[in-house]
Amino acid sequence: DTLADDLGSLLDHLDLRDVTLIGHSLGATEAVRYLTRHGSGRVARLALVAGMAPGIVRGEDNPEGLPAEAIAAANETFRKDRAEFFATGGDAYFALGLPGNDVSAAYVQKVIQDCHGATARAATALVANLETLEMAPEVRKIDIPTLVIHGDQDASAPIDLTGRRAAALIPGSTFKLYENGGHGLYVTHADRLNADLREFSGR
């Protein structure tokens, strides 16, 4: 709610309209929450890129999801040693080793350094959200053109629990599958992603 309201304050302050709102990873949940809290008066289009919405936890709306206790256990491992998590997660994040996913070791290290820019409190609070996050009721209410882009090798946001489910729940949405794509599509598939987003936004 806080992040969504911050976004709302920014859009109001700048008096922006006809906005194409693009959310990546957990940013997708922020974008969805903004729309359900503030409406679509300023936002004309929504794009969810490797989004975590509607959520990965098992529940009534997501019977194939991951058990909350399994997510909590993973989060505890993360809490105890974030450095190890970041250091060993680069390959899976970018789905390295698969065709087309060419990312230098230097760039992977740069992303890891960026992750360490988050405080311990912020980082652990962020992953804790995944234990209860279930936005299916909100996602169903989206009433603007929506583009869902997801990689089929996304280890962070498993496609069947997030991208495909979001596309199925959002009325009239467009779904684009990126073969061999991981979570870091903005790097491995940058040219294609930018082209798709520009076409969708009419820019």
In this prediction, residue 203 carries a pLDDT of 73
Residues annotated catalytic, as ranges: 25, 154, 183
Q: Is the pLDDT of residue 158 over 90?
A: yes
Q: 49: pLDDT confidence band, cut at 50, 70 and 90? A: very high
CATH code of residue 96: 3.40.50.1820
Name every residue whose Cβ is closer than 8 Å to that of residue 24 and which is 6 or more positions away in sequence: 49, 50, 51, 186
Give the per-residue pLDDT at 161: 97
Q: What is the dihedral of CA 124, 184, 197, 53, to 10 degrees?
A: -40
Confidence of residue 13 (pLDDT cuts 50, 70, 90): very high
Among 79, 7, 15, 14, smallest CA distance to 46 is for 7
Percent of the chain with pLDDT over 70: 100
pLDDT of residue 111: 94
Q: What pLDDT digit, counting tens, does each position of 57-78 carry?
A: 999 999 999 999 999 999 999 9
Tally the domains of the chain: 1
For the stretch 79-99, pLDDT in tens is 999 999 999 999 999 999 999
| Domain boundaries, position 137 | 2-201
pLDDT in tens, 118-148: 999 999 999 999 999 999 999 999 999 999 9
Say what the pTM is: 0.94
